[in-house]
Structures are given as structure tokens and as C-alpha cells.
Amino acid sequence: MLSQWLKESNYTVVLTGAGMSTESGLPDFRSSGKGLWTKKDPSQIASTEALNQNVEEFFQFYRQRVLGLNEAKYHQGHAILAKWEKEGLVRSIITQNIDGFHTDAGSENVIELHGTMKKVHCQSCDREYGNEKYANEQFICECGGKLRPSVVLFGEMLPEEALVQAAEESEKADLFLVLGSSLSVTPANQFPLIAKQNGAKLVIINMEPTELDLYADLVIHDRKIGEVLKEIDR
Ligand code: APR
């Protein structure tokens, strides 16, 4: 059914979350028993408050994630989405992920809602560096300010341009496909609803139940995204 919908759709938009990258070896946040936030309180570690009040733990937490990211790469699921964009089956990808894997896999129209962990920038002078600064435990800018990953931290605004683009894409969608997100963080979890309100079919592929399952036209649980996309692509 889903491959039929994909072929019939004139404007398919995809929203991805951390579940899109677990098959690359990166942990997600809320998978029961193993997500990052099942061990740490995000507001205490992934926030501007932590950067100012708890800076050593902040630096070490994000250094570990940078090291993990730099060891990992995109998987077949990312590559299939990039192929579908070239075939005109997917128009855009709205992602909550900060790993850059959609772009690495060849997708071009990618909207990064939560920034990127491929770069860090100075909290004081905004100067940008590659994330190898964190890998090499260099946490201070030449100006003396603190370096932080160029991701959106809890308590920060999302990039305005990304929000506007994501809303426009969601309004245009006639098929909206969620891949690997618990849909528990706003405003990212509003885009499936915007699409639905504008007449789109909503499909959610996620190992565990999500907060928006009741609005979906099709829900696929307990399946790995990479395998499902491979089956549809046949
Ligand atoms: N196949 C299908 N689903 C998967 C897979 C997989 N291989 N791996 C994990 N999942 C599912 C999990 O069951 C989980 O429900 O992906 C979902 C990921 O949800 P979260 O861990 O909450 O990640 P996400 O929705 O992206 O979190 C949103 O929260 O902490 C912030 O900024 C962070 O962008 C993140 C945001």
C-alpha cells in the first residue's frame, strides 16, 4: 500500500528523527532502555544552562557524541531516500537529526531543524570550527570563549529559516512520511499535523508507538526503517 501511495503522490515530504540513524550505530534519545535520555536528563546536559553551569560535563557529553558521529556513516535507508528524491518520489526531508547523513547520502533538499554536530562555534564571538576541536578536547575559542556544537540546545530557538521552510513543505505535502521519531518534541512534532490539516496522508514508521499514531493513516511499528524502505524500494 505504501509503495502505491508513494508512486501516486505528487508531493511527498519526509520527517526523520534519531531512529533514522540508529542503524548507523548512533544512539537515539528515547528508545526504551537505551536512548540517551533514558540515562541523562536532557535539560541538565543538552541545554544552554548546562553549557554555563555544568560545562565540564557538557563538554565531555558532546565530545563522546562527536567521536561517535565521526566513526559512523549513513546507511542504506538514507541512500534510498536520496534515490527517491532523484526519482521525484520525495520532494524534501525535514530532519531533527544533527548528523548530516541525509546530505552525505546525496539528498539535496534537507531542512535541518536542530542544526548540525559536524561543526562547533564560539558562544562569545560566533566563530565556527570543525567538530574535530571537540574530538581533540579543545573546548575554548581563540578569543577565550567556550566552543559549543552548532546544534539547537534545549532552551534555544530553532533556526527561523528552517522553521519557515518546514512549514511550507508540510503544507504542500499530499503524503507525509515520519521515519524514526517519537514525535515528542515540539515544534518538530507539529509538521505532521500541518500536513494532515492540509489534506495529506500521514504515515508513521517507528519501532515504538509515537504521540501522533492516532492521527496516522498508516502506522508501522516493530520494523527497522532500513528494511522497510528496502522492501518499498523493490
Ligand atoms: N527503525 C525504526 N524505528 C526506530 C529505529 C529503527 N532502526 N531505531 C529507533 N527507532 C525509534 C524508537 O523507537 C524511537 O521511538 O525511533 C524513535 C526515536 O525517537 P527519539 O529517540 O525521541 O528521537 P527523536 O524523535 O528524533 O527526538 C527528537 O529530541 O532530544 C531531542 O533534539 C533531540 O532531535 C531530538 C529530538
Residue 218 is predicted with a pLDDT of 98
pLDDT tens digits along 68-85: 999 999 999 999 999 999
pLDDT tens digits along 93-139: 999 999 999 999 999 999 999 999 999 999 999 999 999 999 999 99
Residue 182 is predicted with a pLDDT of 98
Residue entry with cell 561517535: 68
Please, which pLDDT band fits residue 217 given cuts at 50, 70 and 90? very high
Ligand 1: which of 74, 181, 229 to mutate, judged by most atoms within 8 Å of the beta carbon?
181
Q: Whole-model pTM?
A: 0.98
- Mean pLDDT, the chain, as a whole number? 97
Cα 53 to averaged position of ligand 1 atoms, centre (Å): 27
Give the number of the atom of ligand 1 that is nearest the alpha carbon of residue 22: 8
Residue 129 is predicted with a pLDDT of 98
Instruction: Report the distance separating Cα 121 and Cα 102, nearest Å.
Output: 22
Give the number of the atom of ligand 1 that is nearest the alpha carbon of residue 208: 13
Among 59, 215, 54, CA closest to 147: 59
Cα 8 to averaged position of ligand 1 atoms, centre (Å): 28
Ligand 1: which of 21, 78, 206 to mutate, judged by most atoms within 8 Å of the beta carbon?
206
pLDDT tens digits along 35-72: 999 989 999 999 999 999 999 999 999 999 999 999 99
Phi, psi of 136 (to 5 degrees): -90, 15
Residue 234 is predicted with a pLDDT of 87
Considering 75, 78, 102, 114, which one is annotated as catalytic? 114
pLDDT tens digits along 175-191: 999 999 999 999 999 99
pLDDT tens digits along 190-207: 999 999 999 999 999 999
For the question of residue 221 being annotated catalytic, the response is no
